[in-house]
Amino acid sequence: MKIVLFFLLILTANPAFSQNDSTQHIVFSGFIDAYYAYDFNEPQTHERPGFLFNHNRHNEININLAYLKVAYTSEKLRGNLALMAGTYPQYNLAAEQELLRNIYEANVGVQLSNRWWLDAGIFTSHIGLESAVSTNNYTLTRSLAAENSPYYESGAKITYEAGSKWVLTALILNGWQNIREPEGNSNKAIGTQIQFKPTADIVINSSTFIGNEKPDSVKQRRYFHDFYANFQIGPNLKLAAVFDIGAEKRLGVSNYNIWYTPGLLLHYGLSDKVAVAARAEYYSDAEGVIISSDTPNGFKTSGYSLNLDLAPVRNILLRAEGRFLDSKDAVFTRRNQPVDKYSGITSSIAISF
């Protein structure tokens, strides 16, 4: 709470923030996602597979993500501060300094000219269709693509809003999902995002990342491209297609290790309060760049999910999902034995306010 008050004090001390500025707005909001998950491989540690960062505690009732947010906007300025808790930050931000692990967003922006904005700080990622907020996604659990690409980033970005159809963004980042620079790495990463909305029912997105995620002495540069297309097909049906591909330079040679993941998601509203969704996906990381696996074929896994939504009132969503993963090799563990299949159920009740 002290941080929120300090944030507001900075804003109100700014000359642009005055009682005569009719464009200024301060909005407080919050989100809580409580869940219960059961993994049929029955991990004794209560931890689901290490490449899952959301709803990842087995056989216990817990909080995946809870945050409080304050957002300030005016004609020339904008800022966001959100503080969070839950198992999502516990696992997904484990490498960050302890003081930073509870920051969901902390950024400030200034309008440079009519359609240009400069923002700096900690942001949600410019990569991917899915976010850490479960109610914004087609399904309760996240795809393998989302879980293993950045959820957040820190740096600065310039955004150009080219009318109602195009948004172009260029970014300078500290790295691949990190707030502070890793020890021994002084490199900055760069990123881009191109978002095209030809109609109100279609969103086409292309995001890139280029950076070195290893120490300066190694310099194994990483290249990554995220593509997704989101379609509203009629009043009740949504469809999304995703394809991510990355390449990272191999140590000591000129070749690259490649990983890629396609996915297809469907969401159908049976009524104003009930909806169903499905996801099919595949993740191939033979060399273990992102998901390490000590098996002959690396991590090559297909996944299928079925999801049910119930919204008894406007700001509450109850969700349940069954998920099945089938790998080429035994990359999972059941009762201390390697197995090639995984299945689990996840349920959640989330409130937005």
CATH number, domain containing residue 273: 2.40.160.10
pLDDT in tens, 225-272: 999 999 999 999 999 999 999 999 998 888 999 999 999 999 999 999
Q: pTM of the entire structure?
A: 0.90
pLDDT in tens, 43-67: 999 999 999 999 999 999 999 999 9
Count up the domains in the chain and report the number: 1
Please give the pLDDT value at position 254: 84
For residue 70, give the nearest of 137, 12, 135, 150 by alpha carbon. Answer: 12
Please give the pLDDT value at position 7: 47
Q: Residue 220 burial by CB count (10 A; 0-12/13-18/19+): exposed, middle or buried?
A: middle
Q: Which residues of 295-333 are buried (b: 16+ CB within 10 A; e: fewer)?
A: beebbbbebebebbbebeeeeebebebebebebbbebbb
**Which stretches in the chain have pLDDT values below 70?**
1-21
